[in-house]
Chain A
């Protein structure tokens, strides 16, 4: 399951961050590293992007980018 499929109000722990290049590194730099707990707080009014909460701060990400982040199946709440 990817981060893009998680419903608002739910969350889990990151398994892997797919993709490549500067964007992937930027996602990692922003704290989306494997093992990090993330909750999806909200979806924007028009259905995209998402508002996430991780490491004590709010981050906005498009679903396309969130789809590159896979979640640990056993961690989903």
Chain B
């Protein structure tokens, strides 16, 4: 019999680790219908016909972000055969809060009591059998990271689902809340049955005043009046409001249960250790310097120590494949056009992008270490105040930092942000952080125009990017993304050693994602650019790229850059090719000037840019204008629509244009 299970639990409860332990690498990723919340589906090991859906990490079923709604909808509408609820045993009170709500959904359910090894090692005890009896559902102690108790868990889950054993008790309430829930459950019983929603769950939600439930049950106006009356009555007698009353009811029940089966002599070792680590890492004075040091080390390792040699190796590999292909096509006598398309178009284009694969994989290795260890939450904690001034929250800081390396993983990393508004703003702002691919451009221009002040100009460019990001944030905050800043309520999980398996799987996923993109979007883009660069308007191969379609498009838009101080067609053509990858700006300028050697190039560049001011203006435009196609594709995916991605690119290019004009004029008078 094939079955589907829903895996639900709090954030930081070890849910992903359990999911990986249950399914191995047998996973695929999709999206929940209508929202950009990621949906991971995996097949149970040794049970080929059973699958698990990894639901988002949430704390409650009340709608707070789209993730709670997704979880609720999935369980109610997709009707899984059972719920696997993971509970962090070291933080059992708050974790059971979600469990009680999940139990109300009336589905076969099993609790996986995770991190029991930590509880035992600290000399604390949880009477699992008693806990299971009190809650009325099976509870299996496990340690997901040590792979303990997993097979017992799977057996219990399948057994419970096969027997369709739903939670035994549902009455956590007493007194007035109990009365209210029961009378409302009675009123809406038929409607609830009609939409396969347990009447108790529906009644609880109606007491809370939950809008989605009202809509789902199509509660009549008359019923609404009665419900309101019942709830008002309850509120008066309790002397508190409905929301507080229900939260209190659940927590009071949990406190009673825990008093009977949890013996906690002390905080766990991990919690005590976390406090000590935080004494340093979120220290009033040390926090920020340590954070900068950690980030610097990661960038240094990623881009210099590990990334550079690996990227070179990758380049050589790609070069070797290209040469083989080249030789083979020559020997077989492939038509010149096709030959050039494959070698100069596809191999050069896709190859230059693929060579970034090692850097991306390494960067994500470090990032998942930061995330899984619990440090990322501390970064958000430390930086929140600063980001809040820009209308963002501390959580946006990390993607922006990654942006100094590469916008592609940075934009992908915005997925960890809980608010949609923050995520969109962060995606738009991140490309202003000058990425590593732009370094060759700075190198080339500064060598030609600012041979003595090179370092000064480069630092200035980085600072300029940050300043423009801040200004843009303020603009967006006061126009497109008005409204109150999203509240910042975030758990600071205990520091834990990241599980090797989770980190490796994460790296593999990102690599897969990136390779897929290289062979789809970028593949197509390189073909288009090649056609434009190699053919003239009568579709004949050109000898000199100055006669190509690309060149005539370049000359067409060249006047646009007049106010910026560079209206040479070669500059605008370079900017167009920069869309495929920023490094292309360098290669295009080199080809179009026909220069051999650096000295000649410097001289030739003077024919394109009339003054230092013009060169500075060109650099300014280059840092800020729309990101490369890989980053554009990533932002399209994360923003959810092509329209939004084009809007973001237009905004970035607009900011680039205005800033470059300003820089040009200021520089003109200054230099």
Q: Which residues of A contact B (CB under 8 A)?
A: 16-17, 22-31, 33-36, 41-49, 51, 55-62, 64-65
A31 with B62, Cβ < 8 A, contacts A42-B282, A45-B282, A51-B282 known = no
Q: How far is the CA of A55 from the CA of B254 in the complex (A)?
A: 11
CB closest residue in chain A, given B209:
A25
Interfacial chain B residues near A44, Cβ < 8 Å: 282, 287, 381-382, 384-385
B247–A60 touching, CB < 8 Å: no
B491–A62 touching, CB < 8 Å: no
B282–A56 touching, CB < 8 Å: no
Q: State the total of A-B contacts with C-beta under 8 angstroms.
A: 123
B284–A45 touching, CB < 8 Å: yes
In the complex, whether B644 has a CB less than 8 A from a CB of chain A is no
Q: Out of A24, A34, A55, which one reaches B94, CB within 8 Å?
A: A55
Q: How many residues of B contact A (CB 8 A)?
A: 47
In the complex, whether B300 has a CB less than 8 A from a CB of chain A is no
Q: How far is the CA of A24 from the CA of B209 in the complex (A)?
A: 13
Q: How far is the CA of A18 from the CA of B109 in the complex (A)?
A: 35
Interfacial chain A residues near B208, Cβ < 8 Å: 25
Interfacial chain B residues near A60, Cβ < 8 Å: 377, 380-381, 384, 488-492
State the Cβ distance, A71 to closest chain B Cβ, in Å. 15
B59–A62 touching, CB < 8 Å: no
Q: How far is the CA of A46 from the CA of B489 in the complex (A)?
A: 17
Which stretch of B85-93, B220-228, B430-438, B599-607 is in the interface? B85-93
Interfacial chain B residues near A47, Cβ < 8 Å: 385
In the complex, whether B244 has a CB less than 8 A from a CB of chain A is yes
26 contacts between A and B (CB under 8 A): A23-B487, A25-B208, A25-B243, A26-B62, A28-B247, A29-B59, A29-B62, A31-B97, A33-B247, A33-B248, A33-B251, A34-B248, A35-B248, A43-B284, A44-B381, A44-B385, A45-B382, A51-B381, A51-B492, A56-B267, A56-B271, A57-B94, A59-B492, A60-B490, A61-B489, A62-B488
Considering only residues 114-160 of chain B, those with a C-beta below 8 Å from chain A are: none
State the Cβ distance, A19 to closest chain B Cβ, in Å. 10
Q: How far is the CA of A34 from the CA of B251 in the complex (A)?
A: 10
Interfacial chain B residues near A58, Cβ < 8 Å: 274, 491-494
Contact with A along B555-595 (1 / 0, CB 8 A): 00000000000000000000000000000000000000000
In the complex, whether B278 has a CB less than 8 A from a CB of chain A is yes
A31 with B94, Cβ < 8 A, contacts A44-B384, A51-B492, A58-B492 known = yes
Q: Out of B64, B288, B382, B488, which one reaches A61, CB within 8 Å?
A: B488
Q: How far is the CA of A17 from the CA of B243 in the complex (A)?
A: 10
Interfacial chain A residues near B487, Cβ < 8 Å: 23, 26, 62, 64-65
In the complex, whether B60 has a CB less than 8 A from a CB of chain A is yes
CB closest residue in chain B, given A54:
B94
A57–B491 touching, CB < 8 Å: yes
Considering only residues 90-113 of chain B, those with a C-beta below 8 Å from chain A are: 90-94, 97
Q: How far is the CA of A24 from the CA of B60 in the complex (A)?
A: 13
Interfacial chain A residues near B385, Cβ < 8 Å: 44, 46-49
Interfacial chain B residues near A59, Cβ < 8 Å: 489-492
Interfacial chain A residues near B243, Cβ < 8 Å: 24-25, 28
Q: How far is the CA of A56 from the CA of B487 in the complex (A)?
A: 22
Interfacial chain A residues near B327, Cβ < 8 Å: none
A62 with B384, Cβ < 8 A, contacts A25-B64, A35-B248, A56-B91 known = yes
Q: A35-B248, A61-B488 are in contact. List 4 more A-B contacts (CB 8 A).
A: A26-B60, A48-B388, A58-B491, A58-B492
Interfacial chain B residues near A26, Cβ < 8 Å: 59-60, 62, 64, 487, 489
Contact with A along B367-389 (1 / 0, CB 8 A): 00000000001001110111010
Considering only residues 205-248 of chain B, those with a C-beta below 8 Å from chain A are: 208, 240, 243-244, 247-248
State the Cβ distance, B270 to closest chain A Cβ, in Å. 12
Interfacial chain A residues near B380, Cβ < 8 Å: 60
Interfacial chain A residues near B288, Cβ < 8 Å: 45
State the Cβ distance, A51 to closest chain B Cβ, in Å. 6
Q: How far is the CA of A57 from the CA of B10 in the complex (A)?
A: 13
CB closest residue in chain A, given B210:
A25
Interfacial chain B residues near A29, Cβ < 8 Å: 59-60, 62, 64, 97, 247
In the complex, whether B443 has a CB less than 8 A from a CB of chain A is no
Q: Out of B244, B251, B490, which one reaches A31, CB within 8 Å?
A: B251
Q: How far is the CA of A59 from the CA of B63 in the complex (A)?
A: 20
In the complex, whether B264 has a CB less than 8 A from a CB of chain A is yes
Q: Give 10 nearest A-B pairs by CB, closest first.
A: A29-B60, A28-B247, A46-B385, A58-B492, A55-B93, A45-B287, A57-B91, A26-B64, A48-B385, A60-B490
In the complex, whether B285 has a CB less than 8 A from a CB of chain A is yes
Interfacial chain B residues near A57, Cβ < 8 Å: 91, 94, 491
Q: Out of A22, A31, A49, A65, which one reaches B381, CB within 8 Å?
A: A49
CB closest residue in chain B, given A24:
B243
Q: How far is the CA of A35 from the CA of B244 in the complex (A)?
A: 11
Q: How far is the CA of A46 from the CA of B287 in the complex (A)?
A: 10
Contact with A along B247-291 (1 / 0, CB 8 A): 110010000000000001001000100110010001111011000
CB closest residue in chain B, given A19:
B487
Interfacial chain B residues near A34, Cβ < 8 Å: 240, 244, 248
State the Cβ distance, A53 to closest chain B Cβ, in Å. 9
Q: How far is the CA of A31 from the CA of B248 in the complex (A)?
A: 9
CB closest residue in chain B, given A57:
B91
Interfacial chain B residues near A27, Cβ < 8 Å: 489
